[in-house]
Structure 1
């Protein structure tokens, strides 16, 4: 049986938590450098928009969009496609975040192979590709001061029993954890609802994998939109796996748009998350319900309304 009081594990967990908290609070009080903006915080939770969400107000340039997000009081950004951007764009994004006192949320680790036959197979070629991409992610994270990277294990391998597939994923994520632990970084696995062929669909699956890997570098990304579709009972299920949740994403259902456009009572959900003392990122992983500047303003208003639980 694994010793959960292992001093090395305890040290790594404390180091990872301290690093995450330092990142999230780094923008609260800025140095006297005139190149840095005064930080504005309009929300109780750390909501993170993505590029394109406010392009009608801010234009197409990454820096202009980050500046607009900061002006609206959003403390963070997430960018799924960060690893595929040019080095120059990555540096510009990192510099803009630092100037605005903002935190970088998740970006996606995509090894480039076909997810239909991936980590569930246990094949060495896929594990090796995954580890190489984790190593690349470390370097990208340094540029933008990121702490979290999204991972998904891929499709079911129909020729193998489910438990063997789970074991293969645990092995692969342990290999990834060895890459990330020394840097205080965390990959967050995301259960998805996009189609029935995906292996990872429920929070309890992700919880079990986290416990088996037993590393601060492997946690859960709890996407509320996907979990409403797959399992519902949101607050109760988050409570069950709360100790392994390191990142949250948002989207109403149906439609995957901003809070208030679907069936989820986001004011209650946000209130519960806040009462749990969550200081991490809540990524705005959804589209805009309405087009143009009016739609963007409606989205901002929707977050103020859902966030007004105090």
Structure 2
């Protein structure tokens, strides 16, 4: 998976670190308000760290404050498990202060090319299950519900049905860890390489049915599935009962809505009309650099969200 710093020196002045941080955010807020009124979105779009670094600087908490001031009510952080427990707690505290919701983070062990679920290797499975136990504690620090899981690559010497059975068995064991905590692993079909086992929404739907757990659902990433299968609205409808989370990026380019071929007003409007009010993860880059590019991104979401 393709998973995506400078603070102006004038913002760093202050008599103490605390007052300096306060002055910094005061400047950020003023700068944002002078260019852009906070958006009132119909859906809950969630940026990731780095997406607004030219406005907010490198500090993660200042970035969260900027996201909130701009009208975003969610956050994604694929690398959350790699951050210190202290930083995880700070992120969780700021999310609560800002009334923001934590979206997905990636369970970062297991399910990669080196130890795919498809192999049915107990050593690989234990690496993943240990990471699931760690993820439970991480989720508590940020009040998260969803965690991204990718089963990994094909094991080419095994029949496809045996590989599928191995994936299902591994996920059932992970679900047993998450169910007591009301946590949900969301399986993401990807387009990054043809070696990846999980490719389509309907394949993922079948696996979720077989796992048969409220803790195993689909992450429907509009970018990846436009590349792998297209027919977005029809497949969303077909897989609706197992979809728990959405991400998006336009194709080609994997940038904000309006930079590629996808009609996001139609797609977002359809998801809204079906009653989804969960997070829509902004799993993409910015098509332009700098503050101008960040403002263009905000404007793009205003446009794509104007389906009412």
Q: TM class, shorter-chain normalised?
A: 0.7 to 0.9
1:189 matched residue in structure 2: 187
- Hey, what's the Cα distance between the residues in 1 that align with 2:236 and 2:102? 23
Alignment counterpart, residue 209 of structure 1, candidates 192, 195, 207: 207
- Hey, what's the Cα distance between the residues in 1 that align with 2:39 and 2:60? 20
What CA deviation, in whole Å up to 9, does each residue of 1:241-290 have, x standing for no partner? 01100000010000000000000000000000000100111000000000
1:85 is displaced (CA, Å) by: 0.4
2:153 matched residue in structure 1: 155
1:64 matched residue in structure 2: 62
1:113 is displaced (CA, Å) by: 7.4
- TM-score, L = length of structure 2: 0.87
Alignment counterpart, residue 261 of structure 2, candidates 258, 263, 266: 263
The residue matched to 1:241 in structure 2 has which SS?
A: helix
The number of residue pairs the alignment matches comes to 271
The residue matched to 2:244 in structure 1 has which SS?
A: strand
- Hey, what's the Cα distance between the residues in 1 that align with 2:115 and 2:208? 22
State the Cα RMSD in Å: 1.0
Residues 39, 302 of structure 2: 8 Å contact kept: no
The answer for unaligned runs of 5 or more in structure 1 is: 1-39
Residues 41, 75 of structure 1: 8 Å contact kept: no
1:230 matched residue in structure 2: 228
1:112 is displaced (CA, Å) by: 5.5
1:117 is displaced (CA, Å) by: 3.8
- Hey, what's the Cα distance between the residues in 1 that align with 2:52 and 2:247? 18
1:118 matched residue in structure 2: 116
Residues 105, 147 of structure 1: 8 Å contact kept: yes
What CA deviation, in whole Å up to 9, does each residue of 1:58-97 have, x standing for no partner? 0000100000000011010000000000111111111110
2:237 matched residue in structure 1: 239
1:107 matched residue in structure 2: 105
- Hey, what's the Cα distance between the residues in 1 that align with 2:176 and 2:162? 22
The answer for unaligned runs of 5 or more in structure 2 is: 1-37
2:286 matched residue in structure 1: 288
Residues 152, 189 of structure 1: 8 Å contact kept: yes
- Hey, what's the Cα distance between the residues in 2 that align with 1:102 and 1:50? 13
1:118 is displaced (CA, Å) by: 1.3
Runs of 4+ in 1 over 4 A off after TM superposition: none
- Hey, what's the Cα distance between the residues in 2 that align with 1:100 and 1:124? 42
1:116 is displaced (CA, Å) by: 4.1
Residues 110, 124 of structure 2: 8 Å contact kept: no
The residue matched to 1:226 in structure 2 has which SS?
A: helix
1:3 matched residue in structure 2: none
1:223 is displaced (CA, Å) by: 0.3
